[in-house]
A and B are shown apart, each in its own frame.
Chain A
């Protein structure tokens, strides 16, 4: 089967750094994607890691270790607008999504 595990909730302070972890068990693995979803909205693509290492896009970075079947999303300089759910997804065809991590940014 295919499964992805991530924490259900994380709370962090505005301006801080938060890391959301994701472990996966999938067949035919191609890479790990991350999506953001605000309440009442649709998931939107954040990043994709096909190779091991860190990918940086502005305040957001994503990391992948294929040997450990592990990845994380790193959010820096947290802002209130970053409060949302974050999903990791295994880069198979089709994508398999984790259950999501609800991030609450507090003042």
Chain B
């Protein structure tokens, strides 16, 4: 099993540009989570999907952020326009159930730098 796959692994962009992060969850997992990690704020949940349906997006910082899961094997997190304060490591994770009491499997993360 390849695990959770994220791309790109590193992204450097300029303020105002659109950024799209991609995630392929583990096959058979029906929950998918997007997290953001910074030194100041720690690991924050942005949004999670269950069976491709967004369940809770209360962690999405503002309208500049959007996430989609068009099918069970693919999800995107888009930031438009990007700002320097969006610089962070973005993790995608998947789990075979709700994720509340089961193991979550994290991808390697995308390190985003917005100049």
Task: Mark A residues whose CB is within 8 Å of B.
Answer: 30-31, 33, 41-45, 48, 50, 87, 91-100
Q: Are A94 and B45 in contact (CB under 8 A)?
A: yes
10 extra interface residue pairs, beta carbon distance < 8 Å, beyond A44-B106, A94-B48 = A33-B103, A41-B108, A48-B101, A48-B102, A93-B101, A94-B56, A95-B33, A95-B100, A97-B42, A99-B42
Chain A nearest CB, measured from B8 CB (Å): 15
Q: Are A92 and B100 in contact (CB under 8 A)?
A: yes
CA of A38 to CA of B33, assembled, Å: 20
Chain A nearest CB, measured from B27 CB (Å): 18
Q: Are B100 and A100 in contact (CB under 8 A)?
A: no
Q: Are B100 and A87 in contact (CB under 8 A)?
A: no
23 cross-chain CB contacts under 8 A: A30-B100, A30-B101, A31-B101, A33-B103, A42-B91, A42-B106, A43-B91, A43-B93, A45-B104, A45-B105, A48-B102, A48-B103, A91-B100, A92-B100, A93-B98, A93-B100, A94-B33, A94-B45, A95-B33, A95-B104, A96-B45, A97-B42, A97-B45
Interface check B109, CB cutoff 8 A = yes
Interface size on B, residues (CB 8 A): 20
Query: Which residues of B sit under 8 angstroms from A30, Cβ to Cβ?
Result: 100-101
* Residues 23-76 (chain B) with a chain A CB within 8 angstroms: 33, 42-43, 45, 48, 56
Chain A nearest CB, measured from B49 CB (Å): 10
Chain B nearest CB, measured from A72 CB (Å): 19
Q: Are A45 and B98 in contact (CB under 8 A)?
A: no
Query: Which residues of A sit under 8 angstroms from B98, Cβ to Cβ?
Result: 93-94
Most chain B CB within 10 A, of A45, A48, A50, A100, is at: A45
Residue of B nearest to A32 (CB): B101
